[in-house]
Structure 1
Amino acid sequence: MSTAGFAILGAGIFAKEAHLPALLALGSDAPPLRAVYSRSEKSSHEFSDAAAAMGLTPAPAIYHDGDPSMDLDALLARTDITAVAVVLPITLQPSIILKALAAGKHVLSEKPVAPDVAGGISLIKTYDEKYRKNLVWRVAENFEAEPGFRAAGEAIAAGKIGKVVFFKATVRNYIDVENKYYKTPWRTVPDLDGGVHTIAALRTMLPEPLTHLSSFASLNHEYLKPHDTIHAVVKAGSHFHGLVELSFGFPSKTTPAADGFVITGTEGWLTVNSAKGVLRVVIKRTVKAEGKPTEEVEEVIEHRAKGVEAEFASFFDATVGKTTLDIGDPLEALKDVAFIQAGLNSGGELVDLGQLVSEGK
């Protein structure tokens, strides 16, 4: 790995609880973390202290908006920092991504790619026209990188359940006003953050892309407005369809065991569920032998959740020209945003997702 340095722009909960452990796990496969930027000096200090406490030493230098000599421009002017991760509130991210690219830095930006489809299209166009030739920009969608979801996709591609005929994704969460993420701008500012993980997981597993949806959205808790729930009927590829239920407005912390993913094929079915940091894939395949009853064969695949670590590793490899996992493409991440935007706005009308991604409306 190159000795070039790395910086994290944003010092919130996810940066501390997900990014720092991922960098620690990568060890020498990650460039040194040289700096952290936050709008507030306090959060930058706390992040730097947390990094040092984990063993990421020397502690990253602190940058913040309170001191013009140590602000974001000063950080981006450093020649020993060649790449940054952007972990800021979603409405701020596009301008910071462009600022970092203009400063000649490779960029890994947290999902979603932009607050809406139109903004994402504009951002990708600018990257393609001005920066793609020399700089790497990837979107950090950790569900796309999760080994469990990738293993499920590989099993489906290998024909272990036959030809996919329908699917269901169910995610129900209880979010109250004491939730640590609810109290941050990631949740208190209306955006499309919620739900893109689920769509990225489907995108990773299904053999063909989602093409159309018809949905209804609702609000069950006023503090989660404008919406906290989407129910959608979805068409995918040329021949199969499914149901997607996304809710952050469940009434209880205890949710039904039916949450997760079920993908059904002509010769079996597959489920994916998460528990205690492990993604568990169960494959049931029907086996027919002439003159004998049909039998079911079960295969279980389990992977520790390490999507953030995997997306970092792939990004760092890409910045030094190494072959990487096919993850983090901004255009693919835009498809996830398009689904959520369409799900919120459909009102029962059929939405062409391909047209939305290409035209922004």
Structure 2
Amino acid sequence: MSERVGIAILGAGIFAKEAHLPAIQAAGDKVVLRAVYSRSEGSAGTFAAFAQSTLNIDVPFYHDGGDPTKSLDSLLAREDIAAVIVVLPINTQPEIIVKALKAGKHVLSEKPVARDVASALKLIKTYEEEYKPKGLIWRVAENFEVEPGYLFAKKVIADGEIGKLQYFNLSLVAFVDESSKWYQTPWRTKPEYQGGFLLDGGVHFTALLRTILPSPITEVSAFASLNKAILAPHDTINAILRCADGTHGIWELSFGSPSSTRGALNATSITGTEGWIQIGNTQKDGKTHIKVDVHKGDETKTTVLPSCGVEKELEHFLELLGGRDEGFGEPRSVLKDVAFIEAALNSEGNLIKL
């Protein structure tokens, strides 16, 4: 794009600071941060100060502290802000997304698309009927969908390098206790939405399979359980899946590991008639990378790519504003991730069609 896009971040939590702000910095002259907003004046001011020191620019902040000139409405009325990144609690986001669209702003909102399928469908319907016809763009920030490592694995499979797919396995086991920075976020400590961490974090791993598998998941049978009381209502799902083309697999997700020695395990394997792929995280130069091993016979080819999905999702969003649409973050696509989690939470071992 020839001109820098004026953007605002709505939300001042951990992910806004540690992921979205660096993504804006990495975008360089394609974008400029015009403002930040948080419901709390204190958190808004703290985040603005951090953003100013990071980007070396003045960043005004807005909040719900009572001053109408510093309200969210005032931020959304600014003509120099074309788009907003919404990084707010899951239950809060739909209202803010609609508010921003109503003000004429393009929106990139954090995953999940909504707290449940019904809420997501209502939000999508509102967007498609009222705001999309006006040329306004809304996409959901699902960074696993654009991770270079996962897209590389997708291409290996699509190119037939491991033959016809037969089965797959995804396993994530994580250790979360009261000292976790994520657990200490109040709306995560006492979640008012289904699944707790399983929804908030689990949609990443349904998106991973949705991204790399050539055929959509159509059926799931699962059991959900709570193994650590602090992670209510559920912290573990064990599921078996089947895709439209008959490929099947196992999906294991737990945040309820009893010990840090059991987590974090993050491994995905895809097996075909002529080989198999193993995908996992690794550290390189102090940063997370995605490692993809392609096994064929006695030969293994390893590719290691940086984990930079948040940077990529912003990059694709800006390209979309400029007219180039690669389909990433489309609301009806990411809705499938919520539908999967919802089905798995309610399956009780019964087969559910997605």
TM-score category, normalised to shorter length:
over 0.9
In the other structure, the counterpart of 1:249 is: 256
What amino acid does structure 2 have at the position aligned with 1:28? D
In the alignment, is the contact (CA less than 8 A) between 1:190 and 1:225 conserved in 2?
no
Shift of residue 256, structure 1, vs aligned partner: 6.4
* Structure 2 residue matching 1:109: 3-state secondary structure: strand
Could you list the per-position Cα deviations for residues 63-100 of structure 1 after superposition, in whole angstroms to 9, with x for gaps in the alignment? Answer: 00002221111100111101000000000001110110
In the other structure, the counterpart of 1:285 is: 296
In the alignment, is the contact (CA less than 8 A) between 1:89 and 1:185 conserved in 2?
no
The within-5 A match list for 1:260-279 is 260-276=267-283, 277-279=288-290
Shift of residue 285, structure 1, vs aligned partner: 1.7
User: Is structure 2 residue 62 aligned with structure 1 residue 63?
Assistant: yes
CA distance in structure 2 between the partners assigned to 1:245 and 1:3 by the alignment? 42
Distance 1:299 1:142, change over 3 A: same
In the alignment, is the contact (CA less than 8 A) between 2:40 and 2:63 conserved in 1?
yes
CA distance in structure 2 between the partners assigned to 1:44 and 1:285 by the alignment? 52
CA distance in structure 1 between the partners assigned to 2:251 and 2:316 by the alignment? 29
Could you list the per-position Cα deviations for residues 122-179 of structure 1 after superposition, in whole angstroms to 9, with x for gaps in the alignment? Answer: 1111111111130111000001110000100010000011111100000000100111
What amino acid does structure 2 have at the position aligned with 1:96? I
Runs of 4+ in 1 over 6 A off after TM superposition: none
CA distance in structure 1 between the partners assigned to 2:137 and 2:264 by the alignment? 40
What amino acid does structure 1 have at the position aligned with 2:113? V
Equivalent of 2:314, from 312, 315, 323? 312
CA distance in structure 2 between the partners assigned to 1:59 and 1:11 by the alignment? 16
In the other structure, the counterpart of 2:124 is: 124
TM-score by length of 2: 0.94
In the alignment, is the contact (CA less than 8 A) between 1:234 and 1:241 conserved in 2?
yes
CA distance in structure 1 between the partners assigned to 2:291 and 2:187 by the alignment? 28
What amino acid does structure 1 have at the position aligned with 2:75? L
CA distance in structure 1 between the partners assigned to 2:28 and 2:164 by the alignment? 41
In the other structure, the counterpart of 2:335 is: 334
CA distance in structure 2 between the partners assigned to 1:257 and 1:37 by the alignment? 33
Distance 1:186 1:260, change over 3 A: farther
What amino acid does structure 1 have at the position aligned with 2:310? V
In the alignment, is the contact (CA less than 8 A) between 2:175 and 2:264 conserved in 1?
no
Shift of residue 186, structure 1, vs aligned partner: 4.5
The within-5 A match list for 1:1-361 is 1=1, 2-29=3-30, 31-54=31-54, 56-66=55-65, 67-133=67-133, 134-188=135-189, 189-191=191-193, 192-255=199-262, 259-276=266-283, 277-286=288-297, 296-321=298-323, 323-353=324-354
* Structure 2 residue matching 1:259: 3-state secondary structure: strand
In the other structure, the counterpart of 2:196 is: none
Tell me, which stretches of 5 or more residues in structure 1 are unaligned? 287-295, 354-361
Root mean square deviation of aligned Cα: 1.3
What amino acid does structure 1 have at the position aligned with 2:314? F
Distance 1:259 1:62, change over 3 A: closer
Could you list the per-position Cα deviations for residues 31-66 of structure 1 after superposition, in whole angstroms to 9, with x for gaps in the alignment? Answer: 210000000111111111111221x13231110000
In the alignment, is the contact (CA less than 8 A) between 2:172 and 2:264 conserved in 1?
no
In the alignment, is the contact (CA less than 8 A) between 2:174 and 2:265 conserved in 1?
no
Distance 1:51 1:257, change over 3 A: closer
What amino acid does structure 1 have at the position aligned with 2:321? T
Tell me, which stretches of 5 or more residues in structure 2 are unaligned? 194-198
Identity across matched positions, percent:
52
In the other structure, the counterpart of 1:291 is: none
* Structure 1 residue matching 2:348: 3-state secondary structure: coil
Shift of residue 190, structure 1, vs aligned partner: 3.9
CA distance in structure 2 between the partners assigned to 1:112 and 1:309 by the alignment? 18
TM-score by length of 1: 0.92
The number of residues matched between the two structures is 341
CA distance in structure 2 between the partners assigned to 1:313 and 1:170 by the alignment? 29
Shift of residue 258, structure 1, vs aligned partner: 6.1
Shift of residue 317, structure 1, vs aligned partner: 1.3
Shift of residue 320, structure 1, vs aligned partner: 2.2
What amino acid does structure 2 have at the position aligned with 1:336? D
* Structure 1 residue matching 2:341: 3-state secondary structure: helix
Distance 1:61 1:174, change over 3 A: same
CA distance in structure 2 between the partners assigned to 1:103 and 1:258 by the alignment? 43
In the alignment, is the contact (CA less than 8 A) between 1:219 and 1:229 conserved in 2?
yes
What amino acid does structure 2 have at the position aligned with 1:63? Y
What amino acid does structure 1 have at the position aligned with 2:318? F
CA distance in structure 2 between the partners assigned to 1:75 and 1:43 by the alignment? 16
What amino acid does structure 2 have at the position aligned with 1:151? F
CA distance in structure 2 between the partners assigned to 1:329 and 1:71 by the alignment? 29
In the alignment, is the contact (CA less than 8 A) between 2:11 and 2:36 conserved in 1?
yes
